[in-house]
Amino acid sequence: MTWIAIRMLTGDRQKFFGLLFGVAFSALLISQQLTIFINLIERGATAVYNVPTGNVWVMDPVSRTVDVTYAMPSTALDRVRSVEGVDWAVPMLRSIANVRTPEGDLEGVAVVGVDDATLIGLPRKIVEGQREALYEPDSVFIDAVGAVKLFGEGVDPVGLRLELNDRRAIIRGIVDIDPSFTSQVTLYTRYSNALSFVPGTRNRLTFVLAQTAAGTTPEQLTAKITEATGLRARTRDEFARDGVDFIIENTGIPINFGITVALGVIVGIAIVGLTFSLFIRDNIKQFGALKAIGVTNNKIRLMVASQALLVGLIGYGFGILGAAVFIYANASLPDFKGFYMPWQIPLATAAVVLVMILITGWLALRSVLKMEPAEVFR
């Protein structure tokens, strides 16, 4: 009976391809939008994970994320260093500045000041230049995506001068980092240089990066630092999660992508449901003839279920393949740098497609089950 059902389905190629299109379109839209959504909100954590060392971040109590901060007095560094369980602690400055582009426009950039002595805070992967070059006067390192944004493709920015808040800066290297949610150009320099590049109030210290001593866990150290200093201390993973939560709670991204995914489901159900209903209607006499020769309703249900599952499986495969091709074909573009498709997304899409074809199959099946065999011969 399953073979008969498949022959009936594929025999009407117009409706068969219509069903495949509906499922594939829905699967493509759902998986693509979910992938973009997940990757966008994960960029709220990239600024934390771009720092390769330091498993505890310390900040002012009102600071919430890497980009939502309030500066601390410089004495906060010594207070953190004095806490039992701290192996080392270094300062970090993170602020916004303006760079004049080659076209004369102003571009907002993130300036990150790393520890003068150890350069802790500098990304591990340096594409061009040497770490020691950051010790030269007015030196900055620029992120690879930011270099393309400021100077264009094919331009080597190393050695070029920048006008950074009306001060001279010289690009001495390029680092490879994952872009942040704001996709700003990021410049790295020594902490002492950052103080001169970014004018501000008396309190300039944004973060203290700390490392736990042997025998102390990051969770234990954060509790000790908070109790001893009154500052906000978060483990690396906790602070990264704070950035993701901030995006979810304070932007319209979840709603916008949720609406798009919902539209994908609705459109898929509409297309598949209408096409499946037309297919059943056009084949109603065949189903009636089968019932007339003794085929039970249970076998009819099995036939329609096999048709729906075949359409769902093929359409789902095309949809997921299309989404994967879209993501990985655009992976070289700056805006898609680091994008990937988590394994949970194909599973979630498969669950949605399964529910969709079950609903549309059940709706289409009702007319067949209600039909009397004698109606075929009228």
* Distance from C-alpha of 194 to C-alpha of 255, rounded to nearest angstrom: 38
pTM for this prediction:
0.82
- Angle between helix axes 253-282 and 13-42 (nearest 10 degrees) is 170
Contacts for 159 with CB less than 8 Å, ≥ 6 apart: 170, 171, 172
Q: What is the pLDDT of residues 345-366, one digit of tens each?
A: 999 999 988 888 888 777 766 6
Task: Provide the pLDDT for residue 165.
Answer: 84
In the chain, the DSSP E strands lie at 56-59, 86-100, 106-114, 126-128, 139-143, 161-164, 167-175, 185-190, 207-212, 232-235
Reported confidence tier of residue 329, pLDDT bands at 50, 70, 90: confident
Q: How far is CA 200 from the centre of its chain?
A: 33
Contacts for 153 with CB less than 8 Å, ≥ 6 apart: none
378 or 152, which is more confident: 152
Q: How far is CA 318 from the centre of its chain?
A: 22
Closest by CA to 85, choosing from 230, 208, 219, is 219
Closest by CA to 210, choosing from 62, 85, 74, is 85
Query: In 10 A of CB 124, how many CB atoms?
Result: 12
* Distance from C-alpha of 148 to C-alpha of 162, rounded to nearest angstrom: 14
Closest by CA to 345, choosing from 39, 43, 49, 45, is 39
Whether the per-residue pLDDT at 3 is higher than 70: the answer is no
* Distance from C-alpha of 167 to C-alpha of 147, rounded to nearest angstrom: 19
Do the Cβ atoms of 94 and 69 come closer than 8 Å? yes
Q: What is the pLDDT of residues 143-188, one digit of tens each?
A: 999 998 888 888 899 998 888 888 889 999 999 998 888 778 999 9
Closest by CA to 208, choosing from 124, 317, 87, is 87
Closest by CA to 211, choosing from 81, 88, 49, 84, is 88
Closest by CA to 166, choosing from 204, 199, 142, is 199
Phi, psi angles (nearest 5°) of residue 54: 90, 110
- Report the DSSP pairing between strands 139-143 and 167-175: parallel
Per-residue tokens: 17: 């391809």
* Distance from C-alpha of 256 to C-alpha of 264, rounded to nearest angstrom: 13
Closest by CA to 177, choosing from 77, 88, 51, is 51
280 or 233, which is more confident: 233
Distances (CA, A) of 96 to 52, 93, 311: 22, 10, 53
DSSP-assigned letters across all residues of 53-97: S-SEEEE-TT--SSSS---B-THHHHHHHTSTTEEEEEEEEEEEE
Q: What's the start-to-end Cα distance of the chain, in Å?
A: 25
Q: What is the pLDDT of residues 5-55, one digit of tens each?
A: 666 666 667 877 888 888 888 889 899 999 999 998 998 899 999 999 999
Task: Provide the pLDDT for residue 144.
Answer: 92
Whether the per-residue pLDDT at 2 is higher than 70: the answer is no
Q: What is the pLDDT of residues 60-116, one digit of tens each?
A: 999 999 988 999 999 999 999 999 999 999 999 999 888 887 677 788 899 999 999
Whether the per-residue pLDDT at 56 is higher than 90: the answer is yes
